[in-house]
Amino acid sequence: MNVICLMSDTFRRDHLAAYAAAAPWARAGRADAEPFIRTPNLDRLAAESALFERFYLSSYPTVPCRHDCFTGRYGFPHRGWQPLEPGDRVLAEIAREGGRVPMMIFDTPMLAADAYNYTRGFAGWDFVRGQHADRWVVDPIDTVLPAAPHKLKGTAATHLYLRNTAFRRSEADWMCAQTLARAMVWLERNRTRDDFVLWLDLWDPHEPFDAPDFDLAHYADPAYAGEAVIYPRYGRPDFLTPAELNHVRALYAAQVTLVDRWVGRLLEKLATLGLDRNTLLLFFSDHGHLFGDHDLQGKPTGPLGTLYEVTTRVPLLIRHPEGIGAGRRIGGLAQHPDLLPTILAFLGLPVPATVQGRSLWPLIRGEADDLCPFAVSGRYAPVAGDDRRSDDAVAFDGAAGLAARGAPLTLTTRRWAYLCPPAGGGDRELYDLDADPAQARNVIAEQGAVTADLHGQLIGFLEGQGTAPGRVALYRDAAAPAGRVALLPSDTPLHAIADGAGRRYAFLRRAEAEACLTPALPPQAPRETTLGHLRAEDPRALVHAHGQYYRAEDLL
């Protein structure tokens, strides 16, 4: 038997039509009859698969999640965005020890990054070049940013992406298309095998949100004539006008549809080759993405990094070659560490004692309704007194800086979502997912007993993971009414600019402010001020600190 794992980064659950989720927003300028999202191929796969209704991320975001998938362990209590460690036992190595042939074809750039070790153990691997974090094309190509610099996260990365894709001529040149096209060629060459484990890793629909114009035409407002903010900054979304935000959402949806179409071609190839009859196929994502949901944009960190359902609850489809579980919608909780033991059980290979996940086959076969009472989702951030932190984790993890006191954690049951920041990190939140799936009403003040029980389960989970005592204490103490600690001193020097619509922006360094002064903004010199003065003038002024936008009132 063979296995194919197809991971599509940043794929929101409500953007896979088979889940029948409520549309999170209306599409401005579109007729009422226009479908919210088009995913006919994944819908067909869903009908042939066990569809997991409550699949939750464990470690967040991209690289920490791959750690959990490859090792079957929860990484976020101990490590962040960093390479695999020498002692980690990973899927590819376990498969090879069991006589299987592991292969990886991918365009997610971090998996091939220097010293990350994520190709370790694979018998072969093939890397499709060109994503925004891929140091590839250095040709002297003039690139023009598609939006004002103060709206884009990483202008250098955007320029690199534009250089990397400068020679693109058709949809077959998009990275997800290239990755799946190479996979189809590999499958054709290896169609007689009955022993491979193929890991396909797509960066799409991750930003930059840049899809073919014929896909965008299904979602964009035909009257829109503004900028294409293909790589929006993280944090508060105020830097986007309502029309720009609508267009960003359309850009993302278009990329989802592009991924769906190429997944359909892969499915057709599997059927043509007869590999659908002896191959287990898993389709899943690592996390979602915020597009103004909960007054947030992107994948913000620190005190803005609260993990809501939009981010934590992601698609998982598992198609068995004999149809086991086909059409079943599974309500039991599952997480990324569960994928490794599920794959090993299908292959008849022993599960290492180090694995913390559980095989999902009892749920798929209908032999059990639940395997665990809760799911825990988190992002590692260095904290004082953490005896298991490493300099590498601080260097790699985007949650350094203002997140140095730890990051919010989320514990989810079938009914409740409990969101717990570390002590001093703001207010805790509790949502009744049965009555309020959009998490619009925080009921923590009304549910003291429920909150206490869920808080105890969260602390028990951290302690059971061997989490450093200093880190556990931060979350244990979050239950005390200590309030929120200021993130920056009120006398922090800032360099402020303004746009033509009355919005104010401030930066920690003058050079950052000057880099945003383009013809799109009124002629001006950055104004020297302090955080305290800026907040008094305009509490909602945007302050760019450590890679994302805060409002001035968020920081004091």
Which pair of tokens denotes residue 128?
């499709």
pLDDT at position 32, please? 74
pLDDT, residue 486, reads: 84
- Hunting for tokens 């063979």 — which residue is that? 2
Q: Which CB contacts under 8 angstroms, 24+ apart, belong to 133-136?
A: 133/109, 133/157, 133/160, 134/109, 134/160, 134/164, 135/160, 136/160, 136/164
Structure tokens at 461: 């989970």
* Strands 124-127 vs 279-284: parallel, antiparallel or unpaired: unpaired
- Given this model, what pLDDT does residue 384 score? 55
Check if the beta carbon of residue 357 is closer than 8 Å to that of residue 339: yes
Token digits of residue 92: 């590819």
Query: What pLDDT does residue 520 have?
Result: 77
pLDDT of residue 394: 46
**Domains, the chain, ordered by start:** 2-22+40-138+172-208+253-300+319-358 (3.40.720.10), 375-479 (3.30.1120.10), 493-555 (no CATH)
Q: In the prediction, which pLDDT does 383 show?
A: 64
Q: Is the peptide bond before 205 cis (omega within 30 degrees of 0)?
A: yes
Per-residue model confidence (pLDDT) at position 271:
98
What distance in Å separates the CA atoms of residue 516 and residue 497, rounded to the nearest whole number?
9
Whole-angstrom Cα distance, residue 150 to residue 61?
Answer: 24
pLDDT number for residue 385: 53
Let me know: does 484 contact 506? Beta carbons within 8 Å. Answer: no
Which pair of tokens denotes residue 362?
């009892």
In the numeric block, which tokens belong to residue 247?
């267009």
Name the nearest CA neighbour of 35 among 48, 44, 26, 47. 26
Q: How many residues does the chain have?
A: 556
DSSP strand E in 143-218: where? Answer: 196-202
pLDDT of the chain along its 556 residues, tens only?
999 999 999 999 999 999 999 999 999 998 777 899 999 999 999 999 999 999 999 999 999 999 999 999 999 999 888 899 999 999 999 999 999 999 999 999 999 988 888 999 999 999 999 999 899 999 999 999 999 999 998 889 999 999 999 999 999 999 999 999 999 999 999 999 999 999 999 999 999 999 999 999 999 999 999 999 999 999 999 999 999 999 999 999 999 999 999 999 999 999 999 999 999 999 999 999 999 999 999 999 888 999 999 999 999 999 999 999 999 999 999 999 999 999 999 999 999 999 999 999 999 999 999 999 999 999 987 665 554 444 444 445 554 446 556 789 999 999 999 999 998 888 999 999 999 999 999 999 999 999 999 999 999 999 999 999 988 999 998 877 666 788 899 999 999 999 888 889 999 999 999 988 888 788 899 999 999 999 999 999 999 988 899 999 999 8
| Structure confidence at residue 546 (pLDDT) | 81
Residue with tokens 């287990």: 280
Give the Cα separation of 316 and 411 in Å (integer).
Answer: 19
Instruction: List Cα–Cα distances, 435 to 12, 272, 438, 450, 528, in angstroms.
Output: 21, 45, 9, 15, 48
Confidence at residue 121, expressed as pLDDT on a 0 to 100 scale: 96
